[in-house]
């Protein structure tokens, strides 16, 4: 039984309990992070903790811990885990309080950390790509906050599941925003197109890694609004996230993307991403 952290205690997952009056349960009033861990080394931990801080500020919730306290708690969960590679999930809610929309006077944040095994996407999916569907992005206007209130994302992602696909690619007012649980890149004529960070998408940690790798490899990048028509006419589409790394989307709404196979720019990016991860695993770089 994996060890989890809850409000100051380390205990088996089965024994962790929160109040039914927790505002996370009642209102979805909280934020979260998912941090990939390779060989028991958290990947881009500082960046995840910085995004957590931004999310907390976005919902006007005080950060219950210093950076060092977060690191200590996360590393203890990582050390206790039975896997070498894992995803660390953490969430902070506005805590238990009598049900009332307005913030409680007495604030006791609920802090929860757990780990679950992380396996890189299977080779077949990397080599063949995955399918995606498109949908109108009907979420709120603060998609930059990593809120635990994920109902719109859940409903949107289910559209992909219903179609036997991996992801739903979201379009708002004629432009690409992101995936239901990932960031999306397009490639046209060898140029990587990425929507600019804004309130309409989550600033992905993997998104940043992919742009850094592209620039390091001399792959041309344009960070600018990407029109729906460009998504549909792309030579390649990629999705990125901490748990899926970078994957090629080879069918969109039932039609092939480009030639319907992972393209050359994807293959270069995927290979470079693996090298990047391994550099971290060898501990040669605090990547």
What residues are annotated to the active site?
146
Check binding of 194 to ligand PMP (CB under 6 A): no
With respect to ligand PMP, which residue has the nearer C-beta, 202 or 237? Answer: 202
Site size toward ligand PMP (CB under 6 A) is: 14
Q: Which of 86, 126, 147, 202 binds ligand PMP (CB under 6 A)?
A: 202
C-alpha 47/C-alpha 60 separation (Å) is 20
CB-based contact 188:258 (threshold 8 Å): no
CB-based contact 95:110 (threshold 8 Å): yes
Check binding of 205 to ligand PMP (CB under 6 A): yes
Q: Which residues contact 131 (CB under 8 A, 6 or more apart)?
A: 163, 164, 165, 166, 249, 250, 251, 252, 254
The minimum distance between CB 204 and ligand PMP, in angstroms, equals 3
With respect to ligand PMP, which residue has the nearer C-beta, 109 or 242? Answer: 242
Q: Which of 59, 78, 166, 181 binds ligand PMP (CB under 6 A)?
A: 181
Hey, which residues between 41 and 70 contact ligand PMP (CB under 6 A)? none
Tokens of 224: 């600018």
Stretch that binds ligand PMP, among 94-102, 201-209, 215-223, 228-236 (CB under 6 A): 201-209
Q: What are phi and psi of 42, to 5 degrees?
A: -60, 135
Cα of 250 vs its chain's centroid, Å: 21
- The residue to which tokens 């960031």 are assigned: 183
Check binding of 166 to ligand PMP (CB under 6 A): no
Nearest to 77 by CA among 24, 35, 131: 35
- The residue to which tokens 């909280």 are assigned: 30
Q: Which of 61, 241, 250, 252 binds ligand PMP (CB under 6 A)?
A: 241
Stretch that binds ligand PMP, among 3-11, 157-165, 200-208, 277-285 (CB under 6 A): 200-208
Where does this chain bind ligand PMP (CB under 6 A)? 34, 153, 178, 181-183, 202, 204-207, 240-242
């Amino acid at each position: 039984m994996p060890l989890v952290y809850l409000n100051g205690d380390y205990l088996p997952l089965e024994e962790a309990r929160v109040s039914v009056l927790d505002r996370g349960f009642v209102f979805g009033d909280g934020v979260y992070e998912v941090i990939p861990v390779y060989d028991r080394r958290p990947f881009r931990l500082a960046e995840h903790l910085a995004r957590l801080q931004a999310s907390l500020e976005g919902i006007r919730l005080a950060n219950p811990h210093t950076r060092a306290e977060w690191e200590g708690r996360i590393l203890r969960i990582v050390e206790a885990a039975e896997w070498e590679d894992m995803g660390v999930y953490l969430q902070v809610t506005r805590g238990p309080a009598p049900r009332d929309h307005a913030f409680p006077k007495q604030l006791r944040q609920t802090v929860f950390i757990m780990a679950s095994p992380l396996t890189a996407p299977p080779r077949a999916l990397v080599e063949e790509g995955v399918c995606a569907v498109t949908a109108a992005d009907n979420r709120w206007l603060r998609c930059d906050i990593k809120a635990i209130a994920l109902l719109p994302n859940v409903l949107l992602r289910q559209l992909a599941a219903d179609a036997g696909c991996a992801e739903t690619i979201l379009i708002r007012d004629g432009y690409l925003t992101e995936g239901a649980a990932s960031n999306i890149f397009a490639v046209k004529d060898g140029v990587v197109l990425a929507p600019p960070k804004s309130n309409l998408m989550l600033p992905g940690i993997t998104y940043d890694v992919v742009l850094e790798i592209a620039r390091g490899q001399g792959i041309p990048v344009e960070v600018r609004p990407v029109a729906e028509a460009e998504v549909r006419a792309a030579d390649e589409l990629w999705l990125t996230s901490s748990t899926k790394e970078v994957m090629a989307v080879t069918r969109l709404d039932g039609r092939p993307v480009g030639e319907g196979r992972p393209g050359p720019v994807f293959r270069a990016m995927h290979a470079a991403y693996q090298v990047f991860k391994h550099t971290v695993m060898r501990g040669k770089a605090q990547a």
